[in-house]
Structure 1
C-alpha cells in the first residue's frame, strides 16, 4: 500500500510538473521539449531528486509515447502524398541525407565511438523535428507561403526514410549478423510496400472498417490496432514505431481526422513522458564533457540544414527570400532525434551518446525557431551590405565621383511569397 501511494504521488507530480512546464513554454512561445528534457535530468540519475516507485511505469509510458508520435505522423499523410513526394522531391531528400547525416557520423568516428554509434548519431543529426517546425510555421503565419510545400516535402521524405532507417538501426543495435539484418530490412521494406499498396488500393475500405460514429469506439479500435501492429512489428525485429507509422498511413479521410482529434491529447501526454524518461536516464554530470562536440555539431548542422532548404527551394523556383526562410525553418531537431538516441541508450552502445544527443537537441530546439524567424532578414542585410561594399570598391567615374548605386530588388522576377 505504501509503494502504491508513493507511485501515485511521484507520477502525479510528474504529470502536474509537465503541465506547468507546458504552460510556461506556451507563454514564452517556444517548444516545451527542452523543458521536458531538463525535468528528466533533474529527477533522474544524478539529479536533484531521483525517482523510484514510478520509474517502471514511466518507461512503459515512454514506449507508448514513441508509438503515438509515429502514429500521429502517419495520420498526417496519405499513401498518395508519400508516393508523389518520393517521385518529385527525392533529389532534395538525398541532398538532405548527405549534408546532415554525414556530420553526425563523422563526429562519432572522430570521438572513437565506432560504426554503430556513427549510424545512430547520423540519424540524430539528419532528422528535423516535424512537430516543432509545423508549430513555428503556424506561429509565423507562413503556412500559405510558396516555400512551405518545399519544407513539408523534405519533412515527408525524412519521415518516410524512418521506415527504412529504424529497422536498420534496430538490427545494428541488437548486434545481429548480416543475414539476420538483411532479413529484418527485407521484412520492413516488404511491410512498408504492402501497406502503401493496400492504402492506395483499398484505403477507403480499410478506413470504412475502422470508422465509427461513436468517438469511444473509434478511439479504442485505432489505439488497439496501433498497439497490436506495433507489438507484432517488434516481434518480427522491426521497430514498433515503424508499425505505428504504417497504421497511420493506412488510415485516411474522416477516420484519420477523427483519430487525430481523439489521440492528440494522449500523444501529447505520453510524448512528454517519453522526453522525461530520456532525461531520467541521462546523468547531468555527463553533459559538460560532451557540450563542446554537441555545440560544434549544432553549428555545422545548422548551416547544412539551411543549405538544404535553400537548395531545395531554389530547385522549386522559389525567390531568394523564400529560399532563406525554407532553410531556416528546417534547423530544429526534436522528438525523432531523441527517439533514435533513446534506442542506443537502451541498447547500451555508447554511454556518452545519450548526453551528447540531449545537449544537441536542447541547443537546436531553441535555435530552430530563431533561424526560422531571422535567417531571411539577416541574409538580406548581409547581401545588401555586400552589394554596397562592391559599389564602393568599384571603379570611380572619370570625374572622380563614385557611380550612383543601382536600385535592385533582392527578389528575382517571379512574384509573391504567398500562394
Structure 2
C-alpha cells in the first residue's frame, strides 16, 4: 500500500512537472524537448531527486511513447506520398545521409567507440527533428513558401530511411552476426515493401475496416492494432517503432485524420515521458566530459544540414534566399536522435554515447529555431559584404513569391502545425 502511494505521488509529480515545463516552453516559443531532457537528468541517477517506485512504469510509458511517435509520423503520409518522394527526391536523400551521417560515425571512431557505436551515432546526427521543424515552419509562417516542399521531402525520405536503418541498428545492438543481420534486414525490407504495396492497392479497404463513427472504438482499434503489430515486429527482431510507422502508413483518409486527433494527446504525454526516461538513464556528471565533442559535432552537422537544404533547394530551382532558409530549417535534431541513442543506451554498448547524444540534442534543439530564422539574412549579409560595390543587383525573380508563399500549399499540408 505504501509503495503504491509513493508511486502515485512520484508519477503525479512527473506529469505535473512536465505540464508546467511544456507551458513554459510554449510561452517562450521553443520546443519543450530540452526541458524534458533536463527534467530527466534532475530525477535520474546523480540528479537532485532520484526516482524509485515509478521508474519501471516510466520505462513502459517511454516504450509506448516511441511507438506513438512513429505511428503519428506514419499517419502524416500516404504510401503514394512516400513512393513519389522516393522517385523524385532520392538524390537529396542520398546527399543528406552522406553529409550528416558520416560526421557522427567519424566522431565515434575518433573517440574509440567501435563500429557499432559509429553506426548509432551516425543515425543520431543524420535525422532531423520533424516535430521541431514543423512547429518552426508554422511559427514563421513558411508552410506556403516555395522552399517548404523541399524541406518536407527531405524529412519524408529520412522517415522512410528509418524503416531500413532501425532494423540494422537493432540487429547490431543485439550482437547478431552477418547472416542473422542480413535476415533481419531482409525481413524488414520485405515487410515494409509489402505494407507499401497493400497500402497503395488496398488502403481504402483497410481504413474502412478500422473506421468507426464512435471515437472510443476507433481509438481502441487503432491503438490495439498498433501495439499488436509493434510487438510482433519486435519479436521478429525488426523494431517495434518500424511496425508502428508502417501501421500509420497503411491508414489513410478520414481514419488517419480521426486517429491523429484522438492520439495526439496520448502521443504528447508518452513522448514527454520518453524524453524524461532517457534523461533518467543519463548521469548529469557524465555530460561535462563529452560536452566539447558534442559541441564540435553540433557545429559541423549544423553546417552540413544547411548545405544539404541549400543544395536540394537549388536543385529544385529555388532562389538563393529560399535555399538558405531551407538549409537553416533542417538543423534541429530531437525526438528520433534520442530514440536511436536510447536503443544504444538500453543495449549498454558505450556508456558515454547517451550523455553525448543528450548534450548534442540539447544544443541543436535550441539552435535549430535560430538557424531557421537567421541563416538567410546572415548569408545575404555575408554575400553582400563580399560582393564588389556597384549598381544594386535586381532581386531574384522567385524571391517575392517565396516570401509571400508559393503554390505548394497542398504538399505543405502533409505536415501539420502540431506535429
SS at match of 1:416: helix
**Can you list the C-alpha shifts for 1:310-344, whole angstroms capped at 9, x where unaligned?**
00000000011100000000000000000000000
- Show the counterpart of 1:400: none
For residues 255 and 364 of structure 2, what CA distance do their matches in structure 1 show?
34
User: Offset of 1:386 from its aligned partner?
Assistant: 1.1
**Can you list the C-alpha shifts for 1:179-214, whole angstroms capped at 9, x where unaligned?**
111000000000000000000000000000000000
- Show the counterpart of 2:296: 296
For residues 359 and 239 of structure 1, what CA distance do their matches in structure 2 show?
25
User: Offset of 1:409 from its aligned partner?
Assistant: 3.0
In angstroms, what is the RMSD of aligned CA positions?
Answer: 0.8
In the alignment, does 2:299 pair up with 1:314?
no
SS at match of 2:401: coil
**Can you list the C-alpha shifts for 1:288-307, whole angstroms capped at 9, x where unaligned?**
00000000000000000000
- Show the counterpart of 1:350: 350
Which one of the candidate residues 392, 396, 407 is aligned to 1:411?
Answer: 396
- Show the counterpart of 1:192: 192
Counterpart contact for 1:68–1:244, Cα < 8 Å:
yes
Counterpart contact for 2:100–2:122, Cα < 8 Å:
yes
- Show the counterpart of 1:176: 176
- Show the counterpart of 1:210: 210
- Show the counterpart of 1:329: 329
**Can you list the C-alpha shifts for 1:254-313, whole angstroms capped at 9, x where unaligned?**
000000000000000000000000000000000000000000000000000000000000
User: Offset of 1:407 from its aligned partner?
Assistant: 1.5
User: Offset of 1:120 from its aligned partner?
Assistant: 0.1
In the alignment, does 2:362 pair up with 1:377?
no
For residues 29 and 374 of structure 1, what CA distance do their matches in structure 2 show?
16
Counterpart contact for 2:218–2:259, Cα < 8 Å:
yes
For residues 237 and 301 of structure 2, what CA distance do their matches in structure 1 show?
31
Q: What TM-score results when the alignment is normalised by the length of structure 2? A: 0.96
Where does structure 2 lack aligned partners over 5 or more consecutive residues?
407-419
User: Offset of 1:415 from its aligned partner?
Assistant: 5.8
Q: What TM-score results when the alignment is normalised by the length of structure 1? A: 0.96
Aligned structure 1 segments of 4 or more residues deviating by more than 3 angstroms: 412-415
Structure-to-structure mapping, 1:149-298, within 5 angstroms: 149-298=149-298
For residues 180 and 97 of structure 1, what CA distance do their matches in structure 2 show?
25
User: Offset of 1:384 from its aligned partner?
Assistant: 1.1
Counterpart contact for 1:320–1:412, Cα < 8 Å:
no
Count of residues paired in the alignment: 404
Counterpart contact for 1:230–1:241, Cα < 8 Å:
yes
For residues 365 and 240 of structure 1, what CA distance do their matches in structure 2 show?
25
> Closer, same or farther in 2 for the Cα pair 1:253/1:380, shift >3 Å?
same
User: Offset of 1:72 from its aligned partner?
Assistant: 0.1
For residues 153 and 304 of structure 1, what CA distance do their matches in structure 2 show?
17
Counterpart contact for 1:380–1:410, Cα < 8 Å:
no
User: Offset of 1:411 from its aligned partner?
Assistant: 2.3
- Show the counterpart of 1:113: 113
Counterpart contact for 1:320–1:410, Cα < 8 Å:
no
User: Offset of 1:127 from its aligned partner?
Assistant: 0.1
For residues 144 and 35 of structure 2, what CA distance do their matches in structure 1 show?
30
For residues 84 and 20 of structure 2, what CA distance do their matches in structure 1 show?
41
For residues 344 and 114 of structure 2, what CA distance do their matches in structure 1 show?
13
- Show the counterpart of 2:5: 5
Where does structure 1 lack aligned partners over 5 or more consecutive residues?
392-404
> Closer, same or farther in 2 for the Cα pair 1:413/1:215, shift >3 Å?
closer
**Can you list the C-alpha shifts for 1:54-74, whole angstroms capped at 9, x where unaligned?**
000000000000000000000
